Amino acid sequence: DQQVKQNSPSLSVQEGRISILNCDYTNSMFDYFLWYKKYPAEGPTFLISISSIKDKNEDGRFTVFLNKSAKHLSLHIVPSQPGDSAVYFCAASGKRGGTSYGKLTFGQGTILTVHP
């Protein structure tokens, strides 16, 4: 049962344009969502997060949008840079007291390639 899904295995964009990475979840007990970036031979690096009480969080070039009714979140990168080329994972965590509290449930990842 894949509770967090990233349906696009890969995405290719031109430098300077917007990258939009998507993620869907099924567990209504998730209330905190994170995006991680992973380069080969390195561990995932935390990028940005959002609580379920918000619908948008912005940090520099990165913005995460949350649509709770659709159980969907997206990560926007503007403008995209070649150094952003990596695997991007979305992850979710549950409410305090629930079985998914404290642990992260990850999607399968999306490979982003930004061309110069």
Partner 1 sequence: DAGVTQSPTHLIKTRGQHVTLRCSPISGHKSVSWYQQVLGQGPQFIFQYYEKEERGRGNFPDRFSARQFPNYSSELNVNALLLGDSALYLCASSLGSQPQHFGDGTRLSIL
User: Which positions lie near partner 1, rule CB under 8 A?
Assistant: 4, 32, 34, 36, 41-46, 49, 89, 91, 93, 96, 101-109
Check the CA dihedral 69-93-48-52 and report its sign.
Answer: positive
53/96 with CB nearer partner 1? 96
Least Cβ distance, residue 15 to partner 1 (angstroms) = 27
Provide the β-strand partners of residue 115.
14
Of residues 20 and 104, the one with the C-beta less far from partner 1: 104
Q: Which is nearer to partner 1, 81 or 101 (CB)?
A: 101
Q: Which is nearer to partner 1, 17 or 103 (CB)?
A: 103
Kindly report the number of other CB atoms within 10 A of residue 95's CB atom. Answer: 14
Partners of 38 in the β-ladder: 87
CA-to-CA separations, 95 to 91, 103, 115, in angstroms, rounded: 14, 10, 39
Residue 100 Cβ vs partner 1, minimum distance, rounded to whole Å? 9
Distance in Å, CB of 90 to partner 1, minimum:
9
48's tokens: 């940005």
State in angstroms the smallest separation of the CB of 6 from partner 1.
8
Q: Is the dihedral of CA 47, 34, 99, 55 positive or negative?
A: positive
